[in-house]
């Protein structure tokens, strides 16, 4: 009986720790800091959660951990909801889904193409080496899906390409060579804090020219909602340091008479691409519009425009338009820096 009684406080402490872990993992940084001041036990739990958040921004949803690195100030990480793929969002949704920071979600987000009914696709029953045409090799047929649209201007910085990959309606599996951008972040990355730019994305390894890096994932918005949010973001920016991550992608149709507009907002829900900073010289990343076979909307994907050294910051051009003469300052440091970040009418 004495041994049983002596174990009770330990068991209660362990139970409290486990319960606190489940609850505190959902809190924002400010709420987490407030709760941690209540007791030593809650402080230890909060410190453990903060360490896990700092060690991997992707919540283990990507192949490699994506850590935060900050030697500038006391911000251990940037707070946002992680999704490896873009998701549909409605104006009435306060937040698309709850997700515990510091713990892997029980159910991972699914690609938007998986949310719709059956769609057409190719009949290639291929493995890992099929549908991937390599120089000097024979016997590998190019996938029919890839012939639907593929235009690469040489992966030089600042230029845009177009390509089509196999989609949900195709017979082939995830190992198909024509699904190179569908496995999430493909390389090791680190999110680094800068005294002027804020957070930025850096390579965690050598990335050869032409290598897929990541796609720009976030909430897919209707244009009306995108404009409403941009007005709100502009207001917040004018009252203090705030940086939105709302990106408008325009794909010009073959007729040249119209374009398809896609609004991706990674401000509150997104992946690591939200940390890629602008460079006036085009940066070291090329943007490629990738459409899964049978899907209406394209995805914006980033490929290395040249060889990228380990530790080098990743960047691309946000655009050329500057509708605000006194816009946010640009700190890209390139020889052709214009002094302000690009801006346009949303």
Q: How far is CA 344 from CA 55, 72, 277, 299, 323, in A?
A: 35, 31, 17, 21, 5
Q: Identify the pLDDT of residue 171.
A: 81
Q: How many CB atoms lie within 10 A of CB 119?
A: 15
Q: What is the pTM of this model?
A: 0.83
DSSP state of 142: P
CA distance linking residue 111 with residue 113, whole number of Å: 5
Q: Identify the pLDDT of residue 4.
A: 46
Are the CB atoms for 88 and 115 separated by under 8 Å?
A: yes
Q: Tell me the longest C-alpha to C-alpha distance in the chain.
A: 84
Q: Identify the pLDDT of residue 297.
A: 85
Are the CB atoms for 47 and 36 separated by under 8 Å?
A: yes
Q: What share of the chain is helix, strand, coil (3-state, %, to 5)?
A: 20, 25, 55
Upper half-sphere CA count for residue 322 (Cβ side, 13 Å): 15
Angle between helices 40-55 and 29-36 (to 10 degrees): 150
Which superfamily does 112-316 belong to?
Answer: SET domain (2.170.270.10)
Contacts of 34 (CB under 8 A, 6+ apart): none
Q: Identify the pLDDT of residue 141.
A: 57
CA 184, 78, 158 angle in degrees (round to 5)? 55
Are the CB atoms for 214 and 90 separated by under 8 Å?
A: no
CA distance linking residue 253 with residue 298, whole number of Å: 12
CA 173, 178, 179 angle in degrees (round to 5)? 60
Dihedral sign, Cα of residue 36, residue 42, residue 44, residue 46? negative
Q: Identify the pLDDT of residue 324.
A: 66
Contacts of 202 (CB under 8 A, 6+ apart): 69, 189, 190, 191, 192, 311, 312, 313, 314
Are the CB atoms for 211 and 304 separated by under 8 Å?
A: yes
CA distance linking residue 34 with residue 43, whole number of Å: 10
Instruction: Say if strands 198-203 and 81-82 run parallel, antiparallel, or are unpaired.
Output: unpaired
Q: Identify the pLDDT of residue 327.
A: 72
Domain ranges of the chain: 1-55, 112-316
Are the CB atoms for 215 and 273 separated by under 8 Å?
A: yes
CA distance linking residue 38 with residue 18, whole number of Å: 17
Instruction: Strands of 41-179 (E only): list them.
Output: 68-69, 81-82, 87-88, 150-151, 160-165
Q: In degrees rounded to 5, what are phi and psi of residue 210?
A: 90, -5
The length of the chain, given as a count of residues: 346
In the chain, which residues have pLDDT < 70?
1-10, 12-13, 16, 90-120, 125-142, 146-160, 240-241, 253-258, 322-326, 344-346
Q: Identify the pLDDT of residue 1.
A: 46
């Amino acid at each position: 009986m004495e041994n049983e009684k002596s174990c009770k406080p330990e068991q209660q402490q362990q139970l409290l720790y486990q319960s606190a872990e489940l609850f505190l993992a959902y809190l924002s940084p400010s709420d987490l800091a407030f709760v941690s001041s209540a007791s030593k036990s809650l402080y230890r739990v909060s410190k453990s959660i903060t360490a896990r958040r700092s060690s991997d921004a992707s919540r283990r949803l990507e192949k490699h951990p994506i850590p935060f690195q900050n030697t500038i100030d006391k911000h251990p990480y940037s707070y946002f909801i992680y999704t490896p793929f873009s998701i549909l969002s409605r104006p009435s949704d306060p937040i698309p889904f709850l997700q515990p920071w510091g713990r892997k979600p029980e159910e991972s987000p699914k690609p938007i193409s998986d949310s719709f009914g059956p769609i057409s696709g190719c009949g290639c029953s291929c493995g890992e080496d099929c549908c991937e045409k390599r120089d000097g090799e024979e016997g590998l047929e190019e996938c029919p899906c890839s012939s639907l649209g593929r235009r690469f201007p040489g992966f030089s910085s600042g230029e845009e390409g177009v390509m089509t990959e196999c989609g949900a309606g195709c017979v082939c599996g995830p190992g198909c060579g024509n699904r190179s951008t569908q496995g999430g972040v493909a390389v090791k990355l680190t999110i680094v804090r800068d005294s002027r730019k804020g957070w930025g994305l850096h390579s965690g390894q050598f990335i050869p020219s032409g290598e897929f890096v990541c796609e720009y994932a976030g909430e897919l918005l209707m244009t009306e909602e995108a404009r409403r949010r941009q007005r709100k973001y502009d207001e917040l920016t004018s009252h203090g340091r705030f940086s939105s991550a709302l990106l408008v992608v325009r794909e010009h149709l073959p007729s040249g008479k119209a374009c398809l507009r896609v609004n991706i907002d990674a401000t509150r829900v997104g992946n690591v691409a939200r940390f890629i900073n602008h460079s006036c010289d085009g940066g070291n990343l090329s943007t490629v519009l990738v459409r899964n076979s049978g899907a209406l909307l394209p995805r914006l994907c980033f490929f290395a425009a040249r060889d990228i050294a380990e530790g080098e910051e990743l960047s691309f051009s946000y655009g050329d338009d500057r509708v605000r003469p006194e816009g946010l300052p640009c700190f890209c440091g390139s020889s052709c820096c214009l002094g302000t970040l690009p801006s346009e009418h949303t």
